[in-house]
Amino acid sequence: MLNLANPGVFFSLVRNPGVVVFATTGPGITNTLTGLLAARWEGAKVIFLSASTSASQRGRWACQETSSYTMAETLTSKSLFHYATTLESDDELPEVYRRLAKGLAQPGSFIAHISIPTNIQTTSIKTSLSQAALSFAPATASDETISKCVQLLSSGSFAIWVGFGATNAAAEIRQFAERTGAVVMCSPRGKGIFPENHPQFVGVTGLAGHESVLTYMQKHRPLRVLVLGTRLGEFTSFWNPAMIPLEGFLHVDIDPEVPGTAYPGVNTLAIQSDVKAFMQALLQYFPNCQSQMVLPRPERQKINPRMQGLVRPQVLMDAIQEVIVDRSDAIVMTEAGNSMAWGNQLLQFTQPSRYRTSTGFASVGHFVTGVVGATLARNGKAVAIVGDGAMLMNSEVSTAVRYQIPAVWIILNDGCYNMCGQGSVLQGFAGMDVEIPQVDFVKIACGMGADGIRVEKESDICIALEKAIASPVPFIVDVIIDPTEPAPLEGRINSLISQGITNS
């Protein structure tokens, strides 16, 4: 129990979209590390409060000792935390408070760790804390930089590459694209920021991305690409040379370290700016222009359900599109693995902030658990599409039951770690044991007080999804998937092979 400094001291700092996380000593801390690293990669703001061993007990092998003798990295590491300290007395609170307020007010991710020794936890606060009033104006490009961008974009054809960091600029990006006739593509995390059914949209890049993007780059390679709010990391670009424009990138990001990192040898104009502010400035300089180019588009062929055989993932995704994406306002989240690949390629969104996937840290269990928080935070439905392996590693069905949070899990139950199995075969590695004894997740869920339905035929999918969306309680849709259907992993496998990861 952390009794020092009524937690309100820290909660008062954190407003949406920030959180406070509490943990006990030792394994309580180490169990949070994957989640905290994922939060840092995803751009979240988190204050992590943990207990630690009192000064007089340190170095003496106290039970679950947490000190610089045993866990120095978790107390000080800059790769884990933007700010970390051990609070030894309440005299330090004003400075800790100031550091936290500053970090939370700045744009981008901020992960802080405040370690509170056991003997300090029950200490009464004697130091008064004034309300923090720090704020930071969003980074904006100078008039000179905007003029340079206008000059470069006006000199020839260009495409727009949209990432998750451009979420709050969806309206401006659409207006700018339609005004200039620019082609638009997006990262997997950027799905829906620009409508995927728009005639200027050529597809999703990276993991399980669309062939139409590469077709466009090969046949109509633009002079430049305007990159908005994406790091162009491996799962977004695979660092594929085919994605390099003729004259280089204009790369906009709030983090000045991002532009030029993915393609270090390519001419890149780095622009540190909030994407929305940048687009608003850019819009002032471009008149309307209608593009006459016939563009390649993502092809999406609906497959008719069959009466016999295991469920094909493509048919499941068609049903999810129809029942959940098109007929509800639920957030859809795809777990690392084949779930992510199928969702990136086959689901189509026309609004921002309805699709979430983790292409950075990509930890399994990210959304098996995160769907509970997402459902609670939005006071509406959130749906996680996950694998059976992820559901066995990590799930919070019992937490959802405890607080009656109507989260939905759709489980691709194929009795194996199929991304590992299929990916290994494609790389030339044979005989890997990736099988899992097939689990009845509905029985497990019902045993914890949730509800669910098991789907073994394609004709039953839509009814099951409709029940899940309508359910007032946590709900499992356990879909028995055909493990022989190859997931769209070619880009990922080619990237690995290009890095020398192959059994040849």
Mean per-residue pLDDT, 177-200: 96
For residues 107 and 186, membership in a common domain is answered with no
| 56 located within any domain | yes
Q: Is residue 202 part of a domain?
A: yes
Tell me whether residue 50 is in a domain: yes
Predicted pLDDT of residue 502:
65
Residues 219 and 99 in one domain: no
Q: Are residues 235 and 335 in the same domain?
A: no
Q: HSE (CB half, 13 Å, CA atoms) of 341?
A: 22
Q: How many domains does the chain have?
A: 3
User: Mean pLDDT: which of 8-22, 275-289, 337-351 is highest?
Assistant: 337-351
Among the listed residues 268, 340, 296, 361, the one whose alpha carbon sits nearest the alpha carbon of residue 491: 340
Q: Are residues 50 and 199 in the same domain?
A: no
Band the pLDDT of 132: cuts 50, 70, 90: low
Domain-located, residue 90? yes
For residues 307 and 184, the model is more confident at 184
Q: Spell 188-223 as b/e; 16+ CB within 10 A means b.
A: bbbbbbbbbeeebbbbbbbbbbbebbbebbeeeebe
> Among residues 337, 349, 296, which one has the least CA distance to residue 313?
337
For residue 294, tell me if it sits in a domain: no
Answer yes or no: do 45 and 181 share one domain.
Answer: no
pLDDT of 423-476, one tens digit each? 888 787 877 788 889 999 999 999 999 999 999 999 999 999 999 999 999 999
Parent domain of 405: 313-493
The angle subtended at Cα 302 by Cα 298 and Cα 304, nearest 5°, is 165
325-374 confidence digits (pLDDT tens): 999 999 999 999 999 999 999 999 999 999 999 988 888 888 999 999 99
Q: Cα separation of 232 and 253, whole Å? A: 11
Is residue 145 scored above 90 in pLDDT? yes
- What is the reported pLDDT for 328? 97
488 and 353 co-located in one domain? yes
Task: Say whether both 264 and 151 belong to one domain.
Answer: yes
The pTM for the full model equals 0.89
The answer to whether residue 38 sits within a structural domain is: yes
209 and 332 both lie in a single domain: no
Of 261, 283, 305, which residue is a domain's last? 283
Judged against a pLDDT cut of 60, whether residue 1 lies above it is answered with: no
The answer to whether residue 128 is domain-embedded is no
| pLDDT tens for each residue of 36-51 | 999 998 889 999 999 8
Question: Which run of H or of E encompasses 355?
Answer: strand 355-357
Q: Looking at mean pLDDT, say which of 78-87, 196-205, 303-312 comes out highest.
A: 196-205
**pLDDT over threshold 70, residue 504:** no
Residue 176's CATH number: 3.40.50.1220
- Kindly state whether residues 198 and 164 are assigned to the same domain: yes
367 & 448 share domain: yes
Better-scored residue on pLDDT, 174 or 494: 174
What's the CA angle centered on 162, arms 356 and 381, to 5 degrees?
20
Q: What is the mean pLDDT of residues 153-175?
A: 96
Mean pLDDT of all residues in 53-57: 81
Task: Tell me, yes or no, whether 148 and 113 share the same domain.
Answer: no
- Tell me if 307 is assigned to some domain: no
Residue where one domain finishes, among candidates 55, 88, 121: 121
Confidence of residue 133 (pLDDT cuts 50, 70, 90): low
Strand partners for 357: 334
Task: Name 204's Cβ contacts closer than 8 Å, sequence gap at least 6.
Answer: 185, 186, 187, 188, 191, 196, 210, 213, 298, 344, 345
Same domain, 181 and 325: no
Q: What is the CATH number of the domain that holds 80?
A: 3.40.50.970
How far is residue 191's CA from residue 187's CA, in Å, rounded to a whole number?
Answer: 7
